[in-house]
Amino acid sequence: MPEQLLQQIVNGLLIGFMYSLIAIGLTLIWGVMNIVNFAHGDFLMVGMFTSFWLYTLYGLDPLFSIPICTALLFVMGMLIYRFIVSKVMAGPMLAQLVVTFGVSIFISNLAVYLWTPDFRLIAKPLLSGTWNLGAVQLSIPKTVAAAGSIITSLAVFLFLKKTRTGKAILATEMDREAALLMGINTDRVNSLSFGMGAALVGIAGAFLSTYYYIYPQVGGLFGTIAFCIVALGGFGSISGAFIAGILVGLVQTLGGFFFDPAYKYAIVFMIYLVTVWIRPQGLLGW
Amino acid sequence: MKVPVFSQKSFGVVALAAAVAFPLVVGNTFFQHIMILFFMFATMAVAWNIMGGYAGMFSFGQVAFFGIGAYTSSFLLITCHVNPWLGLIAGGLGAAIVGAAIGYPCSNLRGHYFAIATIAFGEIVRTCFNNWKMVGAAEGLSLPMLDEGLLNFMFHSSKLPYYYIILVFLLIALAVCYLVSTSKMGYYFRAIKESHDVAEVLGVNVVWYRLMAVMVSAFLSAMAGTFYAQYVLYIDPDSVLLLPISIQIVLISMLGGAGSVMGPVIGAAILIPISEITRVWLGSKGTGIDMLIYGFLITMISVYQPRGVWGLFAGAGRRAR
């Protein structure tokens, strides 16, 4: 029992770090633009499929396709912002909520159309197997993915704090009009943050593809969980999303362990409802 | 904000006459089926509109109320042989109570936070029904065959009675929406939509009126749920509790024009035939192309017609906000 529990905690941490990376992309977009990107999970799916096809067609291991996934998703995010999202920013709020649903349905069904709804796996990734650490089994691909997620999150954090562009993004997040008055091109910041948000799930997608099933609807669940994480961490807060991602990963696996695994996602959604009820600003929001 | 009631009324009379005459002229059951779905979704969109269009609470979890209605009446019919009409009332009350229970803690949430809370709510309800053995879990519930007749809410030989029943449901929903929109409550709803804080300062009991909006909306949606169960005679979580149904309801209202009585009906009249016909023509192979078109449509509507087509009919005097 204690060993199983320890194993569950480790599993929770490993999936939690992935959640963090996905949620950081979402919170960046949400914080800067006040747009809820319901297509976020589908961006993840595109990342996973990109990695899958690069492996299947060209034999490129997912680890090496990370830069390609990142670049591709970055461009895709920028284009979606430029041609769709930017056009509804001035419109009614309902349209802002619905538009990314449209994008989500479009992308996931494009994937169904092109590649059928089948579940796929990368047959022989470079990383596989487990490390045995006494009582705990550590899956190698999951551990590497978690490490990659931590490094990427740290890089995003440093980018936002240390570079001029990053500071411009943070300034826009705090006060759009003031930022505009300070000479920040907020439209460029929007497009950059949307691109970055998408690129981050591109990285997450490449890592996930080493051990997770790849199918067109895979994004739905990750996307919805990411909303709960963003709310828990606090609106637009990068470090909040990072911590909340780990917490949600732990709660999900432990909830499945102590109660019924079938309800583990319901528990995650309950966290969202309880958070917005008790502490609407989230853990680290202001 | 000026709402042109007269133009809506005259439009309504013509549309109603056409709706009553339709199945007598068109005998094709496929078209009758589309019309039934149109009325059903219109009913739910009108219910959504009371919450979303008037009170400004954008719910993406309406399917939960629909599902609760369908499940309550079916469960009561199967286990206790309760008449579906009583089941309909029970389902409506059940949905309203659940709506109030979830709406109360959410009563201070606005905008995106509220919208996501409703998604979470819908998904929790779906997960519960999907695993709840007593109501058939993932396998769902099959309704027993009863004698045909209005009393049993069951007809086997023709779709016509279903057609007129759901038309009456739609008219009830429209009447409720009309009454709400012209009453004091309707003005309070709009005040809350314009500004939660200002309404509160001016003495509107915001929490209470928001709950009222949720409960009315839940009851009407649950009615449509019972109808669906009686019409199809089989329900499972994948048919009555899926998130895309909620999104479809929002989209219908937005396309038609949120915040006007007839808007959602027009939205449903446009969207349901399109989505049903593309689904039947293109969707049977499971290639996803029908949903592809649908997603494209949602995106285009949000970008180019976010205030709804009702605005085009009603002239320049009306603006959704």
**B320 within some domain:** no
Residue A104 contacts B, CB cutoff 8 Å: yes
Residue A64 contacts B, CB cutoff 8 Å: no
Q: If you measure CA to CA, which chain B residue comes closest to A90?
A: B303
User: Chain B contacts of A106, Cβ < 8 Å?
Assistant: 292, 295-296, 298-299
Interface test mutation site (partner B, options A79, A83, A269, A275, max chain B beta carbons within 10 A): A269
In chain A, which among 109-128 make CB contacts under 8 A with chain B? 109-113, 117
**CA A4 from centroid of its chain's CA atoms:** 28
CB–CB contact A273 B102 (8 Å): yes
Q: If you measure CA to CA, which chain A residue comes closest to B111?
A: A93
Would you say B47 and B221 are in contact if contact means Cβ atoms under 8 Å apart?
A: yes
Which residue ranges make up each domain of chain A? Answer: 2-218
Higher pLDDT, A152 or B306: A152
Task: Dump pLDDT digits (tens) for B46-81.
Answer: 999 999 888 888 889 899 999 999 999 999 988 888
Q: CATH number of the domain that B129 lies in?
A: 1.10.3470
CB–CB contact A276 B117 (8 Å): yes
Q: Which of A48, A46, A50, A41 is nearest to A19 (CA)?
A: A41
Residue B6: its pLDDT value, please? 55
B238-253 mean pLDDT: 87
A:B CB pairs within 8 Å = 148
Task: Dump pLDDT digits (tens) for B149-172.
Answer: 787 787 877 888 889 999 999 999
In total, how many domains does chain B have?
A: 1
- Domain extent for B212: 5-314
Would you say A43 and A202 are in contact if contact means Cβ atoms under 8 Å apart?
A: yes
Angle among Cα A192, A193, A199 to the nearest 5 degrees reads: 90
Would you say B267 and B253 are in contact if contact means Cβ atoms under 8 Å apart?
A: yes
Residue B315: its pLDDT value, please? 52
Interface test mutation site (partner A, options B116, B247, B301, max chain A beta carbons within 10 A): B116
Q: What is the DSSP string of A184-252?
A: --HHHHHHHHHHHHHHHHHHHHHHHTTTS-B-TTHHHHHHHHHHHHHHHH-TT-HHHHHHHHHHHHHHH
Task: Dump pLDDT digits (tens) for A101-121.
Answer: 899 999 999 999 898 888 988
User: Chain A contacts of B117, Cβ < 8 Å?
Assistant: 272-273, 276
Q: If you measure CA to CA, which chain B residue comes closest to A39?
A: B295
Q: Catalogue the E-assigned strands of B190-257.
A: 234-235
Higher pLDDT, B187 or B41: B41
**B41 within some domain:** yes
ipTM of the modeled complex: 0.82
User: Chain A contacts of B127, Cβ < 8 Å?
Assistant: 262-263, 265-266, 269
**B231 within some domain:** yes
Task: Dump pLDDT digits (tens) for A152-197.
Answer: 999 999 999 899 988 888 888 888 888 888 888 888 899 999 999 9
Q: Which one of B121, B131, B306 has the shortest CB-CB distance to A262?
A: B131
Residue A107: its pLDDT value, please? 94
- Report how far residue B223's alpha carbon sits from residue B72's, in angstroms, rounded to the nearest whole number: 11
**B219 within some domain:** yes
